[in-house]
Amino acid sequence: MEIDYNTFIEYLKKWCEERSDYIKQCWPLRGSWEAWVQIDFAAYMHSNYPDVDILREAEIFKMRLNSKGNRSSKQPAVDWLINGNTANPRYRIAVELKCLSAGPLVNSIGDPQQVDPLNISNQPLYPAIYSLVKGVNEDQEKLNQNNINDENRYCQTTVVALNFAPEAQNYLKNYTKLESIYITTNREVEIWAQLFYTSVKSDWANSASSTAPFGLPVSSNSSGLFGSPLPGSSLSNPIDLTSGSSLLGSSASNPMEIE
**pLDDT digit string (tens) for 129-138?**
888 999 999 9
Does residue 200 surpass a pLDDT of 60? yes
| pLDDT reported for residue 259 | 30
**Residue-averaged pLDDT of the chain:** 76
Q: Nearest 5°: phi and psi at 222?
A: -85, 160
Judge contact between 93 and 55, C-beta under 8 A. no
* Cα–Cα separations (whole angstroms), residue 226 to 151, 169, 186, 219, 222: 42, 11, 9, 7, 8
- Nearest by Cα to 16 from 212, 238, 250: 238
Residue 249, domain member (yes or no) = no
Give how many domains the chain has, as a whole number.
Answer: 1
Residue 248, domain member (yes or no) = no
Residue 176, domain member (yes or no) = yes
| pLDDT reported for residue 66 | 79
Per-residue confidence band for 14, with pLDDT thresholds at 50, 70 and 90: very high
Cα(257)–Cα(87) distance, integer angstroms: 45
3-state class (DSSP) for residue 142: helix
Neighbours of 204 (CB within 10 A): 14
| pLDDT reported for residue 3 | 96
- Over residues 92-112, the pLDDT tens digits come to 999 999 999 866 555 444 444
Does residue 67 surpass a pLDDT of 90? no
CB burial of residue 106 (10 Å; 0-12, 13-18, 19+): middle
Cα(181)–Cα(163) distance, integer angstroms: 11
Residue 147, domain member (yes or no) = yes
Rg (CA), the chain: 19
Judge contact between 211 and 179, C-beta under 8 A. yes
Cα(194)–Cα(55) distance, integer angstroms: 20
Angle (nearest 5°) at CA 249 between 244 and 253: 70
Cα(206)–Cα(153) distance, integer angstroms: 20
Q: Show the domain range for 177.
A: 5-243
> Model's pTM, two decimal places?
0.76
| pLDDT reported for residue 130 | 85
Judge contact between 162 and 37, C-beta under 8 A. yes
- Nearest by Cα to 180 from 231, 230, 239, 137: 239
- Over residues 238-250, the pLDDT tens digits come to 444 444 333 323 3
Residue 175, domain member (yes or no) = yes
Residue 250, domain member (yes or no) = no
